[in-house]
């Protein structure tokens, strides 16, 4: 088992083989979605399981920090 280089989700099948992105982070052509789209998705995920209600602004800030810990985005400020 491996994890998505973009968001950290579990990856069933590595696409592309050298890295591995999850189904949430790739489009219909198996290409990585843009960072802003992925950040919005991560923000929504953070809001879903957060014990406190997160505003969209706070969730997006937390998502940005989270993405900096992912291999795909770590060096792309």
pLDDT in tens, 22-71: 989 999 988 999 999 999 999 999 999 888 889 999 999 999 999 999 99
- Asked, for residue 44, whether it belongs to a domain, the answer is yes
- Asked, for residue 75, whether it belongs to a domain, the answer is no
Which pLDDT score, from 0 to 100, does residue 13 have? 74
- Asked, for residue 76, whether it belongs to a domain, the answer is no
* Total domains in the fold of the chain: 1
- Asked, for residue 15, whether it belongs to a domain, the answer is yes
Residue 27 burial (C-beta neighbours within 10 Å; 0-12, 13-18, 19+): exposed
Range of the domain at 59: 2-67
- Asked, for residue 74, whether it belongs to a domain, the answer is no
- Asked, for residue 17, whether it belongs to a domain, the answer is yes
Q: Whole-model pTM above 0.75?
A: yes
Whole-number Å distance between alpha carbons of 60 and 35:
12
Residue 1 has pLDDT above 70, yes or no: no
């Amino acid at each position: 088992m491996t994890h998505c280089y973009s968001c950290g989700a579990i990856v069933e099948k590595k696409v592309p083989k050298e890295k591995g992105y999850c189904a949430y982070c790739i489009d219909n052509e198996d290409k990585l979605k843009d960072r802003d789209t992925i950040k919005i998705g991560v923000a929504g995920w953070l809001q879903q399981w957060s014990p406190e209600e997160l505003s969209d602004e706070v969730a997006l800030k937390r998502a940005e920090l989270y993405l900096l810990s992912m291999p795909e985005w770590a060096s792309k400020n």
